[in-house]
A = this chain, B = another copy of it.
Amino acid sequence: MKTIIIGAVAAGAKAAMKLRRLMPDSEITIYTNDTHISYSSCGIPYYIKGDFDDYRELFAKTPEEFENVGINVFLQHKVVKIQPEYNNILVNDIIGEKSFLAEYDNLIIATGARPFVPHIKNINLSKVFSVRSIEDAINIKEALKSAKRAVIVGSGYIGIEMLEAFVSNNVYVDVIEMSETILPYLDSDMSKLIQKELECIADGRFEFHTGKLVSELRGDCDGVKEVITQFGEAYRADLVILATGVIPNVELAIDAGIELGSTGAIKIDKFMRTNFNNVYACGDCAQKMLMISDEPVYIPLGSYASKEGRAVAINISGQNEEYAGILGSTVTKCLDLTISMTGMTETHAIKSGFDAVSYTLTKCDRVGYMPDAENITLKMVADKKSGQILGAQAFGSKYADKKINSLTSALAGKMTVKDFLNNDATYAPPYSTSVDLLYNAALGLLNKIDV
């Protein structure tokens, strides 16, 4: 049996390795137009920051490790056409300038996502970067050496993480966000609190500019010099980061008649199959189902890539592995602030038709008398009628994400707020308070729901 995998940053790499273990004798071939496979994009901000010096640390596995277990790896091989009705793909060898057809029994589309590039005048000036590939990482780290000021366009995860990377290297940063609040995927009440916290520790090292659209870049042959907003404001910049989100790489799929979902990513069933029985999709190019509401969402995260790659391999091997979906659990770090969420925001829940209520509180992460006790602010969201917990957002100390992770099982199990009161959290003064923040939040929320 021949399996072809297109793309192998995370999902494709995992699928290949898992399939090798499940079907030792099958033929597995990876084609990618990338120069690298099996790497951690999520680690790029920390490489740029200088938490580690060798970009090769980002590689989970080398191409040789794949070859050593009999997986064929073709780097810089661009797949230009998928023909599901012929079970073949057309591949162009970028370096060798050769073109060939490759046949498959099963095809795995793991083409990932690419940075969304907004419509900005002179976007092609040098020293304007997205943050995605190993090359991006190396180029930004190099440009950083001679930079004094940077502009980051966008304040999602990548924008926020690059902010930390830059100010840690004494580069002043202006963050320009078109939404009215930073971190626009959170509820705006939480985003505003987070922005205030970050501004408190900014100390002249960075500034947020929200509600502003970048319309133009200015510069010369040496690269970008200024970033101009729609209001005509100009921000000086020795380099610019575009952190305006990603879009799934679905052009090959569209061309092949593979259906997309309502989110614009490739539609798959519970068994990771597209509308063609022997064509699977996983990772950042594939649509996800939100477990809480069984609605399609596009939340491309590294943590899903591995699980989805694994599920594809198991299904190809002939076992049935249902992939239940995701909760949209995330964490990001900006300087000393941890920001985390799971499930739906209140805004999202209302849009999805829930009668959403919420409760927000701030409490110490450890008993107040312990040195280093710090605050965590948490907002918990539930459905007023059913009492089902729909999501939570938290920020504060390095334990903020741990509070979120104490809720994820409850969300996956569609537990109610009342159910959650049975959660028995550990307690000792160096680690927590005797009454846990989450218990307080659940009690507060209980007063607002019907059951």
Interface of A toward B, CB cutoff 8 Å: 10, 40, 42-43, 46-47, 51-52, 57-58, 157, 161, 291, 301-307, 324-333, 338, 340, 342, 367-371, 398-399, 401-402, 404-413, 415, 419-432, 434-436, 439
Pick from B52, B326, B338, B431: contact of A331, CB under 8 Å: B431
Cα separation A426 to B395 with both chains bound (whole Å): 13
Do the beta carbons of B51 and A370 come within 8 Å of each other? yes
Pick from B340, B371, B425: contact of A51, CB under 8 Å: B371
Cα separation A398 to B402 with both chains bound (whole Å): 11
Question: Shortest distance in angstroms between A74's beta carbon and chain B's nearest beta carbon?
Answer: 25
Contacts known (A367-B43, A426-B329); A408 close to B406, Cβ less than 8 A: yes
Residues of B near A430 (CB, < 8 A) are 46, 333
* Between-chain CB contacts (< 8 Å), 10 pairs: A46-B370, A46-B429, A302-B427, A326-B424, A329-B424, A405-B405, A408-B424, A408-B425, A412-B419, A412-B423
Residues of B near A304 (CB, < 8 A) are 424
Contacts known (A303-B435, A408-B406, A422-B324); A428 close to B369, Cβ less than 8 A: no
Pick from B47, B368, B405, B411: contact of A402, CB under 8 Å: B405
Residues of B near A432 (CB, < 8 A) are 331, 401
Pick from B302, B342, B424, B439: contact of A327, CB under 8 Å: B424
Do the beta carbons of A412 and B424 come within 8 Å of each other? yes
Do the beta carbons of A428 and B332 come within 8 Å of each other? yes
Cα separation A327 to B47 with both chains bound (whole Å): 41
Residues of B near A435 (CB, < 8 A) are 303, 306-307
Do the beta carbons of B401 and A431 come within 8 Å of each other? yes
Which of A325, A399, A423, A428 lies at the interface centre, i.e. has the most chain B CB atoms within 10 A of its CB? A428
Question: Shortest distance in angstroms between A421's beta carbon and chain B's nearest beta carbon?
Answer: 8
Contacts known (A303-B435, A410-B413, A434-B306); A405 close to B422, Cβ less than 8 A: no
Do the beta carbons of A412 and B422 come within 8 Å of each other? yes
Pick from B47, B325, B405: contact of A425, CB under 8 Å: B405
Do the beta carbons of B422 and A291 come within 8 Å of each other? yes
Do the beta carbons of A331 and B427 come within 8 Å of each other? yes
Contacts known (A405-B425, A429-B46); A58 close to B412, Cβ less than 8 A: no
Pick from B52, B332, B423: contact of A369, CB under 8 Å: B52
Question: Shortest distance in angstroms between A336's beta carbon and chain B's nearest beta carbon?
Answer: 11
Question: Shortest distance in angstroms between A159's beta carbon and chain B's nearest beta carbon?
Answer: 14
Question: Shortest distance in angstroms between A192's beta carbon and chain B's nearest beta carbon?
Answer: 22
Residue of B nearest to A404 (CB): B426
Residues of B near A332 (CB, < 8 A) are 428
